[in-house]
Structure 1
């Protein structure tokens, strides 16, 4: 006679993940969750009601929504500060309940975005290990962790956002590459980064969505400084199992792929400034005429809400007639598929880290127009360290845009960039193969989670 429970399979180890509710942070967290699911872990996603992911796209995940108290019109610093106050009690309640019920298996650890620093005190109190996911790159995190020092040395508040003076404490950055913080939020921002750094140091490990080959020196310095396990496992989207747009908060227009199929190889410049940036009507007009005057075919993402509501969001008169035979404008695009298409020869980007990684992985040279957050840092790496793109250094102006597109797409400099990004693409792709640095870091991460 079989003993009770003899034929019952043991429950899979359970990992709870909590993303910051912005597209650039949600994507890598859900990509990591999908990978862990493929390795046999049970997955629960805790998420705010603001920008919540679509559970129907992830039928094998468990979802736990919590209230956040956010309201329309809040800036990024206010959103981050509010989440780190309002979500303490509901997150503690969810985690305590799940530990008590044990419905989906024993919780091995919690993985949260680094900006959700309040979760460290909650997990400490409930004796659950917390691992931190940084969805941007290592030098961006290094800059955040040194924000207090940069403030004390007078870099912040930034007096001249166009200054090319070096930030000697964080080479190869210049003052113009640093994230721009308005003086009205300086105290709140300073406290935010101090709290983030303290909580990260207290965690059980740190995950970066970056490969070692892109930031070897910075990662080595962070390991020495933080004294916790560091796992550079990027690019996470390359480990993704399932549709690449399943974590998107916006619906892509897949019809653009048929349009791309009609274009010549390497002829199209793809233009997208991400999911959160806002420009004014004047910038939209300068972009439009820069694209028109370049003579290049283009696929341009003009997202709803990407132009300030106080400005005219209409394209300039005559633009559509001028570009009808060689341009396509969509509200959102399946970016990974677009960048992988043989017709695409360049990417005019805001240099969010996900976009930058995706461009490198497909070997697409970049024209950089950083707008906010760590995008200036990323653009600096692209144009001056890896030298796989070029930056529009000044305000958006049609003449500079036209020249930049021509230099990238048909100029001699663009050809040299194309050769360099081929090599960089191969180095990054090697990192995710069996035996590569990112693959080894993922194995080490799984070992750590399994050890809890």
Structure 2
């Protein structure tokens, strides 16, 4: 088969092995991308791939002609907004089970020479009903965790945090900055930002997801031992199943893309005219939003830093605005060419560009990992879910970024940008980022930890 559709791959294509693997991604951009990268990886190892997916945010099938796609109706419009995990999962139980039954029926009724034994299901770790759904099919299930291990460690300890009263009242002053005794890598303010809105309800949801992990036939992580060796030891004690740290997944097929939004090609052409390490890339991911006041603080912080920047403003990401209406009259003209604003950018290509010298990010795991892989230091403006703990690791463990303490404050933004892009501190962070980039690159090479873990994963799937 022509492998041009796979993009630039670090791995040679193996002959077909007669086994089929089913994939079930969760319909968010940050979950779809690593799942499809993993599917590409296992296809290169000889497996036939079937993607089961929701109608909501369905992947672009034309980008993956080498896969079979099996959609089912989840009851949502294709690009619905405002849905929640519990609602989506409840709507998917029966349609998923029916889709699975149809796949097995098709396999059993195919001509004998065309049958491919179904090896296993690889499902996103946010689905909370799969154990019961696959039980009657006697189908091994492997969980893909698209985030890192540190957040799962925190999730495991959440009942303890609740029992000890860490959320009963607002922590103030030095207590917010104190290390959490049960997980001293993170601070009290990190768990308050991650779970503080309704920790008991969040704990109930997470308990169901962690139960799926414990009952699985293995867990795949988009991380590597070089980043989370101590966390791996804790995870293995808590979840006594095989673990495969094979990340960073996006580096196996750098040319592949699963973006749900069209890229603006002007991003790269604008960067091409800039000096090395001179541009700050600004993007807060595919689902975050801000109010108008925060948007204006961001704009003035960028402008007053006097540094060049490429800013992604996703349409609808500023509450109450379609796109840039909130910017003051003449704002862009006053930048005198220092800034370029786009609706969406090819992030991996932007981060790999020589002109990109920093990344102001929301610290979603995909963005964090992509930045570290290119040696680009970060400014961390974290929001919800896994982001506060990711940011803590970026700034305090790997030491490749700067934290914005006040959220969206134009003066702090200006100073943080100058610290990263101009000051000696930024150069020191850039040097550490460069060393981490090399380490992450080596883990994918022959004899590297992720490379070896991929081989172990292939053997594990073939054993079913």
**TM-score normalized with structure 2 length:** 0.90
2: CA distance, partners of 1:384 / 1:187: 28
**Can you give the 5+ residue segments of structure 2 that lack an aligned partner in the other structure?**
1-14
CA shift, 1:364, in A, is: 0.4
CA shift, 1:66, in A, is: 1.7
Q: Is residue 2:109 matched to residue 1:95?
A: no
Moved over 6 A (4+): none
Aligned partner of 1:123 in structure 2 is 134
Query: Of 373, 376, 385, which aligns to 2:388?
Result: 376
2: CA distance, partners of 1:172 / 1:321: 44
Q: Is residue 2:88 matched to residue 1:83?
A: yes
Cα deviations by residue, 1:369-391 (Å, 9 ceiling, x for unpaired): 00111111111111111111111
1: CA distance, partners of 2:268 / 2:31: 26
Cα deviations by residue, 1:224-276 (Å, 9 ceiling, x for unpaired): 221100111110001126x33x2111111122111111011110000000000
Aligned partner of 1:140 in structure 2 is 151
1:395 is paired with a residue whose SS is coil
Aligned partner of 1:326 in structure 2 is 338
CA shift, 1:97, in A, is: 1.8
2: CA distance, partners of 1:128 / 1:83: 23
1: CA distance, partners of 2:169 / 2:441: 37
Aligned partner of 1:6 in structure 2 is none
For the Cα contact (< 8 Å) 2:280–2:308, is it kept in 1? yes
Aligned partner of 1:151 in structure 2 is 162
2: CA distance, partners of 1:43 / 1:130: 15
2: CA distance, partners of 1:368 / 1:50: 30
Aligned partner of 1:216 in structure 2 is 229
1: CA distance, partners of 2:26 / 2:387: 18
1: CA distance, partners of 2:82 / 2:201: 14
1: CA distance, partners of 2:273 / 2:142: 46
Moved more, 145-154 or 216-225: 145-154
For the Cα contact (< 8 Å) 1:347–1:366, is it kept in 2? yes
- How many residues are matched? 438
Alignment of structure 1 residues 331-346 onto 2, 5 Å: 331-346=343-358
2: CA distance, partners of 1:385 / 1:216: 12
Query: Of 436, 441, 447, which aligns to 1:429?
Result: 441
2: CA distance, partners of 1:319 / 1:53: 37
Query: Of 267, 277, 286, which aligns to 2:278?
Result: 267
For the Cα contact (< 8 Å) 1:117–1:200, is it kept in 2? no
Aligned partner of 2:177 in structure 1 is 164
2:285 is paired with a residue whose SS is coil
**Can you give the 5+ residue segments of structure 1 that lack an aligned partner in the other structure?**
1-8
Alignment of structure 1 residues 44-443 onto 2, 5 Å: 44-70=50-76, 72=80, 74=82, 79-102=84-107, 105-156=116-167, 159-160=170-171, 163-178=176-191, 179-181=193-195, 183=197, 186-240=199-253, 243-244=255-256, 246-309=257-320, 313-443=325-455
Cα deviations by residue, 1:339-391 (Å, 9 ceiling, x for unpaired): 01111100011011000111011000101100111111111111111111111
